[in-house]
Amino acid sequence: MMDKIFYKTLLKNTFSNPVEIAFWDGETVQYGDGEPDFKLIFRDIIPKAELLQNPSIAFGEAYMDGIIDVEGDLKEVLTSMYQSKEGFLGNSKFTAQLLKKISNTSKRSKENVAFHYDIGNDFYKLWLDETMTYSCGYFKTPHDSLKTAQQNKVAHILKKLNLHEGQTLLDIGCGWGELIITAAKRYGVKATGITLSEEQYARVNERIKEEQLTDSVEVQLIDYRELNKKKFDRIVSVGMLEHVGHDHLPEYFHKVNELLVDGGLSVLHTITSPTEGASNAWIDKYIFPGGYIPAVGELVNQISENKFYLTDLESLRRHYAKTLDIWSENFENVLEEVRKTKDERFIRMWRLYLNACSASFQTGNIDLSQFIFTKGTNDSIPWTREYLYI
């Protein structure tokens, strides 16, 4: 009885939409006026101590284990929880502060990357687009396909880099190589990609040979901090800074400063928090160990402290929500193939991850920011932004 009272008190203000709750003993209650938009089913009790200690992990694990089920749209449920100002999932500041103390050394960073990215290229191939691009797309129209949006994104970043033939380009966290290969083919630059993922490293090398670009593109299996005695005209990083960690942000920008030539330009594409940096305990445990979402203000301060010139900042928040919606749909469409190698708990984990991230972008909990900054002044950049849209 005490558990039921606790649950009812906890759930009363958790959703911004009308919801029906079914408890483990068959009782149902409704919160909010009007027809319920969805139904949440508790098949068993989640210990009160677990919910109070870390609601993110307790809720996430309960969904993974089938203790919680949803009738209706999972993303809509999560969006409703994020939009509720009194929702219990938003109260995780203690956990975020605790995670900031994690030190992402070179060894730990490699282990963290392997945890997420080395679960098999075949798995990612099932639901990513043909370019194998695992970051926010760029939708010029709402009807763009995922492949078109990813190609748009690469083209948009390459324009921001203001590349010229013969220049050198470093991609920190190059993924499966789409950006460096496109840059070499389209702009005639010498491109270097680095990654800590052995699966990505192997595939990028295959692509370089397939495209006959061995003279202009290379990939290294190396931590960015281990790059020495080399300078680049341009440096780009797409979706990698989230893995750096709070305590290592100064180290990242110091290294970019060291690797850039005077007058060089860098584009940073990263998930950001609108107010203060944060980590999510469930994401850290099951999806991205050691991850940290920096605040926009933190990154602007780092850019300033390293005496870079910030020349442009763009938000692509809605683009990432749409990208994640397509990934989620693709994932659901290939479950038969996924089940050949992954169990149901893994499937529920990834379903929750993709939908929770989309809901976070949609509600503005997190953002996607693209920064352009230069080492010293650079007057070769066009006077207006028109060059980005030609």
Q: By C-alpha distance, which of 191, 222, 217, 196 is closest to 206? A: 217
What is the three-class DSSP state of 314? strand
Angle at 204 between CA 198 and CA 208, to 5 degrees: 145
Q: What is the rounded CA–CA span in Å between residue 279 and residue 386? A: 37
Q: What is the rounded CA–CA span in Å between residue 177 and residue 171? A: 9
Q: What is the rounded CA–CA span in Å between residue 16 and residue 3? A: 23
DSSP class per residue in 151-186: HHHHHHHHHHTT--TT-EEEEES-TTSHHHHHHHHH
State the Cα torsion 242-248-251-257 to the nearest 10°. 20
Catalytic member of 357, 366, 368, 372: 357
Q: By C-alpha distance, which of 245, 227, 258 is closest to 99? A: 245
**Helix, strand, coil percentages in the chain from 3-state DSSP, rounded to 5:** 45, 20, 35
Q: What is the rounded CA–CA span in Å between residue 354 and residue 376? A: 39
Residue type, 207: R
357 carries an active-site annotation: yes
Strands 232-238 and 260-272: parallel
**Would you name the residues annotated as active-site residues?**
357
